[in-house]
Amino acid sequence: MNILVCISPVPDTTSKINFKEENTAFETLGIQYVINPNDEFGLTRAVHLQQKVDAKVTVVTVGDASCEPILRKCLAIGADQAIRVDLQPQDGFQVATQLEALCKKTNYDLIITGRESIDYNGGMVGGLLAVHMGIPYVPNCVHLDLSGNDVALEREIDGGKERLKSSLPLIVGAQKGLVEEKDLIIPNMRGIMQARQKPLEVVSPIEVTAATLVEHYEKPPEKGAVKLVDAEDIDGLIDLLTNEAKVL
Amino acid sequence: MAVLVYLESQKGTIKKTGFELASYGRAVADALGEQLIGVGFNLQDTKSINPYGMDVLYNVDTPEGSFFNADRYSSTIAGIASKEMAQVIVVSSSADGRYLGPLLSAKLDAAFLSNVVDLPTQYSPLKVKRSCFTNKAFNRTLSQKECNILSLSSNAFGLNEQQGDVEVRSEPYAEATTDLEVTAIDQATDKVSIADADIVVSGGRGLKGPENWHLIEDLASVLDAATACSKPVSDMGWRPHSEHVGQTGKPVASNLYIAIGVSGAIQHLAGINSSKVKVVINNDPEAPFFKAADYGIVGDAFEVVPKLIRKA
C-alpha cells in the first residue's frame, strides 16, 4: 500500500507577516518555516497507518531547494522517502498539476493533503487533484480508518460531523482531529539520523502556467486603541455595543 | 452569460449566507450587465430569495433521504454553469462551500479564488482582493482564466435588499463520478454554529476548568450566540476541537466576538480578525488581546460575566 502525503512549508504560526519589493513579495527574512500544521496532522496519521497496514509513506513538496530541511523533518517523523518537485509554485493549481503528473507515474492508494495551508489558505490542491484523477476527495477530515479497500471517514461540517464511506484510491484533506495534538511525533535522535540516509528524490517540474497571480499584498489597517469599560459598569458596555457598535 | 451563486440551505430553507452571496452576485452581475442565477438543492421556500435581485433560481431535487454529495452537487452546478455560460460563480466560505469550490474549478477549467473579501476591481481579466496568511494580510489576485470560482468570506459583503421576483426552474441531479457516499450526519440542530453565528462567545484558560463553562454557555444562550474556545482549551480536552478558533482551528467572521479569559496569542487573533467588533474580558491588563479588541473590561470573568448574563 502506497501513501502520499503532500507537504507545504509555511511560516511558523507566530510569524509577523511583512512584504518587500513594494509589497509584491513576501518577506522571508527572519521567517522560520515549519510543516504546515494541517499537513502534519495528515503525516502523523500516515505514519500510524504505515505501522498498522504495512504501508509505504512518501512525502512530496513542490518547491525549491530551501524546502529540503522540511522534507528531512518529515523523514525523521517517519516517512520512508521524499520527493521534491523542483518548482517555486505561484498557486495551488500549479501544485495540483505537478502532483497529478507524479501520481500518474506511481499509483498511490491514499493521498493526504492538509485542509489548507496556513499561508495562502487556498484549500484547493486536494479537490483539484481528485477531479483530475477521477477519484473521491474528503476535506476537513477528522477520522480515517482503513479496512482492506474500504475506508470509513468523518468530515467536520458547520456545527457537526458527517460520516462517509469510500473505497481506495482516495484523497483526504487532513486537519486537527484526524490525530490529536498530543499524538504529533517529535523526531528523536535516531529518527533524525535515519532521515539523513532515506531517499530524497528531486523531480523536474512539468510545464504548466498558474491560474492566478498575486499582484500586490497589503496589511490590515492599524487598529484604534481599545475602549476600556470599568468592570462595575456593565450597563456602559451594553450601551456601547448597542448604540455605538450597533451589534446587539 | 451569467453570474451564478450556490445557495446553501438547511431543511429546505436558504441560509443567511445565501442572501449575502446573492447580494454580492447581484453587484457582480450588474457590473457585467448579466443575469444573476442561483442554484439550490431541495429548497422548500424559494420566495425568501426574492428581495435579493435574483433573476433565475434552479431548484434541484435529490432523492428522498439523500445527503449532501460534493461530487454530484458540483457536477450539477457545473452543468448549469456551462449551459448558462457563467463567467463568475460564487460559493460561501462554509465547509461545504470550500469543498465545492475546487471541484467546480477543476470541472469547469476555472480559477478558484478563496477568501474573497470585496467586489472584483476589474473583470477582464478578473482581479479581486482576498485575505491571506489567515487574515494577517490581504492580496490582490489576478486571474488567468475566463471563468472564475470565488469563495466569499462570510460577513465580508453584507446584505443588499432590492426588488425581485425570481423565476424558478428545475434541473436534473447529476450522476455520481466516484463511489464516495455520506452515510450519516451528526449535527446539533439546536445550537447555532460558529460559521452561522452573528455573535460568538469564546472562552480561554482564564476560566480555569471545563466545570466553569456554564458562564460561556449561559452568555451565549442569552445572546443567541455560538460558543468557541482557544487552542489550549481544546488541547487540554476541556472543549471539543470543533470549538477551537484560530489559525489551525476555525475562522470566525461574526459581527461580535466576545473573548473571556483568552490572552490573545497571535494565532488566535489571526483566526478571529475578520470579526467586526471584538470585546475582551480579562483580569490581566497586559493580555495581548487588549491591543486587538475594540472594547475591553479589565476584571475577573467570574464576577463580570454573571452580571453580563443578567443584563444582556
Residues 6+ apart with CB under 8 A from B34: B1, B2, B3, B87
Write out B203-245 in H/E/C secondary structure.
ECHHHCCHHHCHHHHHHHHHHCCEEEECHHHHHCCCCCHHHEE
Confidence (pLDDT) at B187: 85
Please report which residue ranges of B10-83 form alpha helices under DSSP H. Answer: 16-32, 70-83
The identity of residue A133, as a single letter, is M
Q: Would the CB atoms of B195 and A167 count as touching at under 8 Å? A: no
pLDDT at A86: 98
Chain A contact for B147 (CB, 8 A cutoff): no
Span A4-23, mean pLDDT?
Answer: 96
Contacts of B95 in chain A (CB under 8 A): 139-140, 155-158
Q: How high is the pLDDT of residue B26?
A: 97
Residue-range domains of chain B with CATH: 2-170 (3.40.50.620), 199-311 (3.40.50.1220)
CB within 8 Å of chain A, chain B residues 5-64: none
pLDDT tens digits along A220-239: 988 889 999 999 999 999 99
> Which residues of chain B register pLDDT less than 50?
none
Q: Which three cell numbers stand for residue A214?
A: 498575486
Which pLDDT score is estimated for B79? 98
pLDDT at A43 over 80: yes
Cell 497571535 found at: B266
pTM, entire model: 0.95
pLDDT tens-digit readout, A82-139: 999 999 999 999 999 999 999 999 999 999 999 999 999 999 999 999 999 999 999 9
Of B140, B303, B311, the CB nearest to A216: B140
Query: In which element (H, E) is residue A81 found?
Result: strand A81-85
Q: What is the pLDDT of residue B65?
A: 85
Question: In which residue are the cell numbers 462551500 written?
Answer: B97
B95, B194, B295 ranked by CB distance to A229: nearest: B295
Q: What is the mean pLDDT of residues A213-217?
A: 97
- Domain positions in chain A are 2-215
The CATH T-level fold of domain A2-215 is Rossmann fold (3.40.50)
pLDDT over threshold 90, residue A169? yes
Among candidate residues B185, B106, B251, the one with its CA nearest the CA of residue A116: B251
Q: Inform me whether the pLDDT recorded for A168 exceeds 80.
A: yes
